[in-house]
């Protein structure tokens, strides 16, 4: 590992300790990531983003801490937040390994317990959160609403659908299909109290560790329907998903028919991906929406 002086100096300001080496980390779609080796022998991850949106890293740090508060009760594990500023976030380094059945089962149980923790740390029993957040670089509206169908249609579908409509990324017919499906939430999704969600639980945000464990990163947490996290895990092909779900349902059984409802909650990440990466995801969302019309 070499030492990038600018990056190292910024980390030293925030951590109050010497950075002896740095190296770039591949794979980040949004932020630039750098591995730090500290004089103590500890390793850390620094994430930085030029012209980051307001409170971008502070929101991520708050989400990590919110989820970490469930860890003592058997909930999800997250990397420790070492420092946060407007321009960067520094986390404890996670050594990754290969997915295993044991880790998958542990992850499923931990996810269920985090969901069961409810919204005590979110400041209320409604769906949403006290503050808006981000999904990728996109704003994510969290102002609470009393029911999940209202919240999902108005906060998770409508804002991104408007962007896609205004930019002509989706056709009027595709937009109408998604709008109509989203409006049927009360008929599609069983009523449940809010769960504490990770909120952006795709495969890339699930780190399998060398100790047969799982650590989650990059949350967009809020109080929502627990099937949202499960739908996102299924959408992007989490390894060992069968084992994860078996362990999850041992702790927190799901209302029958949940497999058929996954597509309904996949509309949200598909629209987000359409906003970020292009129209193929919008067309896919419209196709999925047809199942719920």
Catalytic positions are: 200
Contact between 139 and 53 under an 8 Å Cβ cutoff? The reply is yes
Token pair of 230, please? 């499960």
Distances (CA, A) of 155 to 72, 225, 268: 31, 13, 10
Token pair of 259, please? 């497999």
Token pair of 136, please? 């990728």
Q: Where are the beta strands (DSSP E) in the chain?
A: 19-25, 32-38, 43-48, 81-84, 88-92, 133-135, 138-140, 195-197, 206-208, 214-216, 222-224
Token pair of 92, please? 């404890």
In this structure, what DSSP letter does residue 154 have? I
Q: Which residue, among 192, 194, 203, 222, has the nearest Cα to 107 in the 3D structure?
A: 203
Q: What are phi and psi of 24, to 5 degrees?
A: -70, 150
């Amino acid at each position: 590992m070499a030492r990038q002086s600018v990056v190292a100096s910024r980390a030293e300001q925030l951590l109050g300790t010497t950075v002896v080496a740095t190296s770039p980390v591949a794979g980040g779609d949004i932020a630039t990531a750098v591995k730090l080796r500290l004089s103590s022998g500890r390793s850390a991850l620094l994430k930085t983003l030029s012209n980051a949106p307001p409170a971008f890293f502070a929101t991520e740090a708050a989400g990590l801490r919110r989820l970490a508060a469930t860890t003592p009760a058997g909930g999800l594990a997250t990397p420790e937040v070492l420092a946060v500023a407007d321009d960067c976030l520094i986390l404890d380094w996670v050594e990754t390994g290969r997915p295993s059945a044991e880790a998958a089962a542990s992850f499923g149980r931990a996810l269920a317990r985090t969901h069961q923790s409810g919204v005590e740390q979110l400041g209320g029993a409604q769906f949403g959160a006290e503050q808006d957040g981000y999904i990728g670089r996109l704003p994510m509206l969290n102002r609470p609403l009393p029911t999940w169908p209202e919240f999902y249609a108005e906060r998770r579908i409508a804002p991104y659908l408007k962007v896609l409509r205004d930019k002509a990324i989706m056709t009027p017919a595709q937009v109408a299909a998604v709008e109509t499906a989203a409006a049927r939430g009360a008929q599609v999704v069983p009523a449940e109290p809010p769960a504490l969600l990770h909120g952006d639980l795709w495969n890339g945000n699930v780190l399998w560790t060398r100790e047969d464990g799982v650590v989650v990163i990059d949350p967009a947490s809020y109080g929502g329907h627990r099937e949202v996290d499960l739908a996102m895990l299924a959408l992007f092909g989490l390894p060992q998903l069968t084992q994860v779900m078996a362990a999850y349902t041992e702790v927190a059984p799901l209302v029958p028919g949940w497999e058929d409802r996954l597509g309904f909650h996949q509309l949200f990440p598909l629209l987000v991906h359409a906003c970020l990466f292009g129209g193929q995801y919008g067309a896919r969302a419209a196709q999925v929406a047809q199942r719920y019309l």
